[in-house]
Structure 1
């Protein structure tokens, strides 16, 4: 597999230069037509390039013409190649790391005004393919590739879109192995629209694998800019916020430039969503930001002590993310636990966390107690969920718990009776025993049979399970992560 790096260079009017005095020696009076008026080294790229290519034709076997080619200057590309030659990495020393150099050039059609065509850099690419290997013997003409822009360079929007498409579809980039290769970008010459869109397109696709070069033409030295790193961090910070806002904590680990504390915090929250509190605490303990660490650990402690409330938060998240099957599964488990707790509160002499046999024996004993005769009389008149006969509270489960609660506190039990009305949807879904669909409209339709709506149900449950003083809500923790992220970006560790 190819692991050599790629260098992309945008060529403009300053990328190949020659003193006028030297050009006069080569071309005589004709040299005047090759330069900008009153500027010693700034040539007119198209005509200058054509003239020099013709003048040095056959240079391969002509030392004199090779010597002339060596007189040409390339003040932007040369310092960049010098820099890459000096920089070394394991198994990729110097310029041997470069497997391909791509020149981005303009070559507008003859329909374009000659004033603009004159600045086209197409011939500079051909010249540099000859010149560069004479200065850098690690490179040969076969290492170069030319990408031409043939439409009008005045169309800013078209040029911007073109290079987003180029980076997305070109086979060279599709074969780019981002885990083993770097992509160097020297985009100082040429058209601003091309340079900017090319830079953004590469950064969006390859992130910090893009290494942008800058050149001081005054001093002839090159260096790497920090822009790709800063851009990637800002971009991933934005992506992270969107993922966190949607509670998609598991996807955060795909973002490479986030501070480690943010990764650990979201791993902790992801574990908490799965009720894996030990793992949640383990991840939180690895956080270095004291404030964030303390906040998350306190929230886990609260969640462990209030698992029913935690389950409701969990169900609420599934609803917000439109995961309706998972929402119903959690809602049913919530009801099961909560109504059982209410029965334990209302009947302190009854054990509720028992097996089926123990439950039946307790109910049998209650039937012999006259104090409970009204309870049995009332519950035996209640319809079982789904119209499946009457309630028999000796059968342990949610219907029995809810019937007992409904007898003692009918108003408080009303909302949970609505949840039971959704049980048939849960049973027939892929979360239980069948393949029936579940969606918001289907849930709403079922609730409408009881003159209720999902919004009303959630509002009622919010009143029971959520509190403005609740320190452990996921949204509050998310906000703490955003604030910590801001601190970390201002003061990176």
Structure 2
């Protein structure tokens, strides 16, 4: 039979922070630093960074002095501010986690969102005189970009990705890196992958999606991550990889130091 530490480790390997937190609550450790960190991750992994940071701030001063905490807190602030490298890294991590957990419809939803975000990011890079900018600026909104496309470039397609594709093919065809990204994101297999999402129950249809369906149109699903990484590299966006794997190591590090009161000893097994 698995002991509690092994169960926790297994849950973390699948990034199941809800399950891990429930385990800690059942062990009467809901107020421990390891539980606070785990609960924070449960919100962060669902893109609720404000709540994740609010919960994380409840952690003890001793843990706040650790470098792992400082790095995580810094990352959450960057996500809240909409810093491009932090946000794109988070999307990539989320895509990977959806694959690991066989959540293929959610995976396809993230694929569509990632493609749109990259197109919008490229458009903004061509229209503001700054190397770095927050993704929360108004120019990143669909409304603002469609307005510019209509007024300045006479492009009237209401589908933002289609409209930006027209713009790039017409006005940025000499930008080799940008056109390489467009080629990847508008490839036949990427289009078929997004069509799977559109035909699914979270799109415009009523079907489910399996790993076999994704493999049929794209091959190994992890190839999607490789292609997205290539796009970000061409945009000179530095990816922060293995964020949640590193957090999991931090959680297990804290769990290994948990000391419980005698009256909890029959429940808590961390030593």
Q: CA–CA distance in 1 between the matches of 2:70 and 2:159?
A: 41
Whether contact under 8 Å (2:53, 2:73) holds in the other structure is: yes
Is 1:359 the equivalent of 2:146?
yes
- If you compute each CA radius of gyration, which structure gives the higher value, 1 or 2? 1
Q: CA–CA distance in 2 between the matches of 1:353 and 1:315?
A: 22
Is 1:457 the equivalent of 2:224?
yes
Superposed displacement of residue 447, structure 1: 2.5
Is 1:427 the equivalent of 2:198?
yes
Is 1:487 the equivalent of 2:257?
yes
Superposed displacement of residue 399, structure 1: 2.0
Q: Which residue of 1 aligns with 2:118?
A: 338
Q: Paired residues, what number?
A: 232
Q: CA–CA distance in 2 between the matches of 1:414 and 1:267?
A: 40
SS in 1 for 2:15: coil
Q: CA–CA distance in 2 between the matches of 1:271 and 1:395?
A: 33
Flag the 1:279–1:460 CA change in 2: closer, same or farther, 3 A.
same
Name the structure where helix makes up a greater proportion of residues: 2
Whether contact under 8 Å (1:265, 1:287) holds in the other structure is: yes
Q: CA–CA distance in 2 between the matches of 1:470 and 1:362?
A: 32
SS in 1 for 2:207: coil
SS in 2 for 1:355: helix
Is 1:412 the equivalent of 2:200?
no
Flag the 1:247–1:459 CA change in 2: closer, same or farther, 3 A.
same
Flag the 1:402–1:474 CA change in 2: closer, same or farther, 3 A.
farther
Name the structure where strand makes up a greater proportion of residues: 1
Q: Any gaps of 5 or more consecutive residues in structure 1?
A: 1-203, 205-233, 368-391
Q: CA–CA distance in 1 between the matches of 2:193 and 2:166?
A: 16
SS in 1 for 2:256: helix
Q: CA–CA distance in 2 between the matches of 1:316 and 1:327?
A: 8
| Higher RCO (C-alpha 8 Å, min separation 6) | 2
Is 1:439 the equivalent of 2:210?
yes
Superposed displacement of residue 426, structure 1: 0.8
Scaled by the length of structure 1, what TM-score is found?
A: 0.42
Q: CA–CA distance in 1 between the matches of 2:231 and 2:259?
A: 39
CA RMSD of aligned residues (A): 3.3
SS in 2 for 1:487: coil
SS in 2 for 1:422: helix
Scaled by the length of structure 2, what TM-score is found?
A: 0.72
Superposed displacement of residue 435, structure 1: 1.4
